[in-house]
Structure 1
Amino acid sequence: MNTPSPWLRVGIRPTAKAVAVSVLVLAGCVNYIGIKSDKQISVPAQYASSQSLPSEGGLWPSPDWAGQFGDPQLPHLIGEALQGNPSMAQAEARIAKASSYIESSKSALYPKANGNYAWTRELYSENAIVPPPFGGTWYSENNVLASASWELDLWGKNRARLGRAVSQEKSAEADLQQVRVTLATSVANSYNQLARLYELRDIIVREIRDRVDISRITNGRVVAGLDTNVERQTALGDIATSQTNLSDLDGQIIVVRYQIGALLGKGPDRGLQITKPVLTRGNAVVLPSNLPADLISRRPDIVAARWQIEAAIHDVKEAKAEFFPDINLAAGFGFDAFGWGRFLTSSSRQIQFGPALHLPLFDAGALRSQLKGSYADFDLDVANYNQTLINALSDAATQIATIHSIDRQSDDAQRALNAQTKAYELAVVRYKAGLSEQLQVLSADQNRLAAEQTVTNLRMNRRALQIGLIKALGGGFDAKRASLVVPTDVPTSSTSEAQAAN
């Protein structure tokens, strides 16, 4: 069985084969010889991370990760932010714009049809090329024409343009997911900061109460002649200092409330309606298995960068297709006549048909420059992807290492707080009994206050790092679940893709 000619498969008659070959030979005057890229995207296995990110059999964050901290207000606030924040609307608008490019690119793959009608009333000159009786007389001309055209996408230029538009939409969808993760973790971090300020405030309130007790003891000692007015004024000054710190914390609490209101996409008064946080420690921090490899489908910023590479590959294919001839088929049918009497008769018919060929012969390097620009965009997108992957691995490793460090610090800090609390209690007993001076009590008080603040800050920092680790692991995003997995194998370089486009 004979194999049909490739020219027959694209609709070109055998008699036109010689012409087509000649066209391709002439097209060789404009070519992309020597233009390529050897840039490669990285894979997680390239980077040593088994010690920093060991497989521990843990789970990836779930979409409802905020519930683990035991405060029902937090998931509600995150949901409100995802509904009302302008940054979400901006990301959604970018998706809508990318979607419009898909529809526009699809239209280039199909035939187009148009209908035109024109009516002209004209007085013809007696002294021009139109002889009497038309010259010197008014006439009406009617013209109606239905036309159709179809660009034969022989080299895949329009298909590549469509592929680029689809990839850009997927990248925009992944960007939206990144906005969601960033916004959710920002709300959680601000909420954790609000919890920190409230706990520090509670510490200061207790401190004021204790310093009032010390001042009462001091007054009794002054009356008994054991202390002077110096100790009395020192005790009063310490109370005033603590009250100043309390006012400062109250101001910071209001500011954080305003910040949360802005994250929710609401006015500052919305932040004032938030009740006091009651966050718990959260789940145990255990890294999932196969973390580096699976991270590329769990982090939306990596997925977005990967789709951007896919779009750049299609852009290279489109730029290559520009070097080959464009063939357009066009046809038209209509009527053209003076007056109305013979307008729609067979003698007034007009018929047009034929192919149109656009062939780049000499363009002073414009197409080569355009292809170089497409490859440069590809190289940039590959570099961005590689840097995003490196940052993602470093981000996850940094978060988990700092959490482990804080866990070790917390044990020591708690022991220090226990000791400082005991020392303060003993100092107060001795001071009340007249066995020690006020300075010893104040020193013990300062040490206990610092130790309690350290324990609180470590606990809050750990939760902030937990939230950071959740974000570093994708915040519950899954490319497969979101239908954002890149459908092709991971390319090693644009060169292989370029060869596939030839």
Structure 2
Amino acid sequence: MHYMLRLSPLIAVLLAGCAELSAPPVTLSPQALGLTEARAPTFAAGAWWRALGDPALDRLVAQALAANPRLTLAEAKVRAAEAGQAVAAAGGGPNVGFAYSYNRQRYSADSIYPPPIGGSWQTLQEIGLTLDWRLDLWGQVSERVAAEAGQVAAARFDAELARQWLCAEVTAQYLALRVALAQQALAAEAVTLARARDKQAQWRVKAGLSDAASLAGARASLAAAEAAYAPWDGAVTAARAALAALTVQPLSAIPADTPTAWPEWTLDTAGLSLSAISRRPELAAARQGVEAAAHRVRAARADFYPDLSLSLLLGLTSLNPATLFDAASRELGVAPALSLPLYRAGGLQGRLDAEQAAYAAAVAQYNQTLLDVAGQSASALAKTQAAVRADTAAESAALATVRQARAAQTLFAAGLAARDDALAAAEGALSARQKWLSVRGERLQAQLALVRALGEVPESPAEKP
């Protein structure tokens, strides 16, 4: 064994030259894209949706987190990865075993055993402890354990990604439901105004102040308003059905009424930067995949080196049951073994090539994920800034038309304006409010997309007039 240990380094150097290594691929860095990489990824894993100040949304998210099978699947994958790491770690430690055997046998008188054993029945009993230990001289086991640890970390990041996706998807569908309910209410107001316009047209025709064409136009407007109301029923049902599926509840458990308070949050888009993309769990998972693949390459390269193992035996063997536990029946054994992979028909090189290809694929996946995340984040930031500006403009226009409609109604009540003018002003205000609501829904969804892209937690909620 002393000579084996002295020769092992020389043999290892010679055999290492048989491993053909390709040039490793290069991973992109956030700095190369003009971004700043954080030291460690931290997630918007808190209850960021509570910043919207909507208890109904809080309950839906809590139900989804408790019941959705997507999270159960992700957690099962984490446990499987942890079990794989434990299996890999066990390969680097000693294996201790206990064995007992009982053999009753008649030995042939013409065999190698002379009398009195030959030609007689004998009982052979063996009992012992064994220890086998494959020494991790070149790091095969430690590298594979490190690779499995990377898989565990990646699985945990994937689980966090599933959690973030679920929370964001519930929030997105809930915001869509709130917008659909509000638009449905405005569509009902539009039907009411159209009916008032129809009655006004009927009165004018009876009074001889208008012709049948104006009445037909009013009735066409009423039909259009009623037709515009119907799709919002479908939008409300679709959003409720999506929430029911996400929260694993029946459709009846999803609220179908409009709460009094409107969900709202503010984001200081001027203070945000794309440096927060390191918080994205898919990017962290891809990075862990690169690290795990690198460890597997090193483990495959170490397979070219000699393998040294040690076996120990401590036991008792006797043909006489009465003397099994006597000192004379004891057996002791030490068996060091050195295995040299001289030729395996290209199997070792093939495995190394496969691991290098897997490493190149992991690097490419990380680079593509970084580019995708950076692009999504930049797009989300730009869309949010544009949506905020559009919302501000739509709000100003809506408030102006509402003031105009109120003034027209006041003049009509005072007998200073015609009813047609008051109805027209009310219809204009309603149209502006519908547009504002649509733009506001787009802004809320854009801000949600920004939260998902950057992992930023919004500021405290603010009520919008």
Superposition pairs for residues 126-145 of structure 1, below 5 Å?
126-145=109-128
Q: Is the 8 A contact 2:201 2:218 kept in 1?
A: yes
The answer to whether the aligner puts 1:295 opposite 2:277 as a matched pair is yes
Q: Is the 8 A contact 2:129 2:313 kept in 1?
A: yes
Please name the residue that 1:255 is paired with.
238
Please name the residue that 1:31 is paired with.
18
Aligned partners of 1:287, 1:41: CA distance in 2, in Å? 30
Deviation at 1:246, TM superposition (A): 2.7
Deviation at 1:335, TM superposition (A): 1.7
Aligned partners of 1:465, 1:154: CA distance in 2, in Å? 55
Deviation at 1:79, TM superposition (A): 2.4
Aligned partners of 1:447, 1:37: CA distance in 2, in Å? 68
CA 1:144–1:109: 2 relative to 1, 3 Å: same
Deviation at 1:283, TM superposition (A): 1.6
* Deviation string, structure 1 residues 73-121 (Cα, Å, up to 9, x no partner): 2233222222221111111111111111222222223222101001122
Deviation at 1:266, TM superposition (A): 2.9
Please name the residue that 2:72 is paired with.
89
Please name the residue that 1:20 is paired with.
8
Q: Secondary structure in 2 aligned to 1:460? A: helix
- TM-align CA RMSD: 3.3
Aligned partners of 2:76, 2:204: CA distance in 1, in Å? 72
Superposition pairs for residues 363-374 of structure 1, below 5 Å?
363-374=344-355
Superposition pairs for residues 88-487 of structure 1, below 5 Å?
88-229=71-212, 231-232=214-215, 234-272=217-255, 276=259, 278-288=261-271, 291-296=273-278, 298-414=279-395, 417=398, 422=404, 450-474=431-455
* Deviation string, structure 1 residues 24-73 (Cα, Å, up to 9, x no partner): 36635x7213x1333122222211469xxxxxxxxx96723222222222
Please name the residue that 1:5 is paired with.
none
Structure 2 counterpart of 1:321, which letter? A
Structure 2 counterpart of 1:140, which letter? T
Q: Secondary structure in 2 aligned to 1:162? A: helix
Q: Is the 8 A contact 1:195 1:278 kept in 2?
A: no
Aligned partners of 1:476, 1:418: CA distance in 2, in Å? 30
Deviation at 1:426, TM superposition (A): 6.7
Q: Is the 8 A contact 1:44 1:292 kept in 2?
A: no
CA 1:424–1:215: 2 relative to 1, 3 Å: farther
Aligned partners of 2:186, 2:258: CA distance in 1, in Å? 19
* Deviation string, structure 1 residues 328-371 (Cα, Å, up to 9, x no partner): 11110112222413322233222221201121101122111111
Structure 2 counterpart of 1:210, which letter? L
Please name the residue that 2:54 is paired with.
71
CA 1:39–1:247: 2 relative to 1, 3 Å: same
Aligned partners of 1:273, 1:214: CA distance in 2, in Å? 30
Q: Is the 8 A contact 2:274 2:377 kept in 1?
A: no
Q: Secondary structure in 1 aligned to 2:299? A: helix
Aligned partners of 2:260, 2:116: CA distance in 1, in Å? 96
Aligned partners of 2:442, 2:455: CA distance in 1, in Å? 20
Once the two structures are aligned, what percentage of the paired residues are identical? 26
CA 1:133–1:327: 2 relative to 1, 3 Å: same
CA 1:240–1:356: 2 relative to 1, 3 Å: same
* Deviation string, structure 1 residues 218-254 (Cα, Å, up to 9, x no partner): 2212221334555445534543443343333223212
CA 1:402–1:24: 2 relative to 1, 3 Å: closer
Q: Is the 8 A contact 1:94 1:172 kept in 2?
A: yes
Aligned partners of 1:173, 1:469: CA distance in 2, in Å? 23
Matched residue count: 448
Aligned partners of 1:277, 1:166: CA distance in 2, in Å? 50
Q: Which moved more, 1:73-82 or 1:204-213?
A: 73-82
Deviation at 1:293, TM superposition (A): 4.0
Aligned partners of 1:20, 1:197: CA distance in 2, in Å? 74
Structure 1 counterpart of 2:79, which letter? A
Q: Is the 8 A contact 1:192 1:464 kept in 2?
A: yes
Q: Secondary structure in 2 aligned to 1:369? A: helix
Deviation at 1:163, TM superposition (A): 0.8
* Deviation string, structure 1 residues 178-232 (Cα, Å, up to 9, x no partner): 1111111111110110011011111111111111111111221222133455544
Structure 1 counterpart of 2:206, which letter? V
Aligned partners of 1:199, 1:275: CA distance in 2, in Å? 7
Aligned partners of 1:420, 1:99: CA distance in 2, in Å? 62
Aligned partners of 2:44, 2:260: CA distance in 1, in Å? 22
Q: Is the 8 A contact 1:45 1:292 kept in 2?
A: no
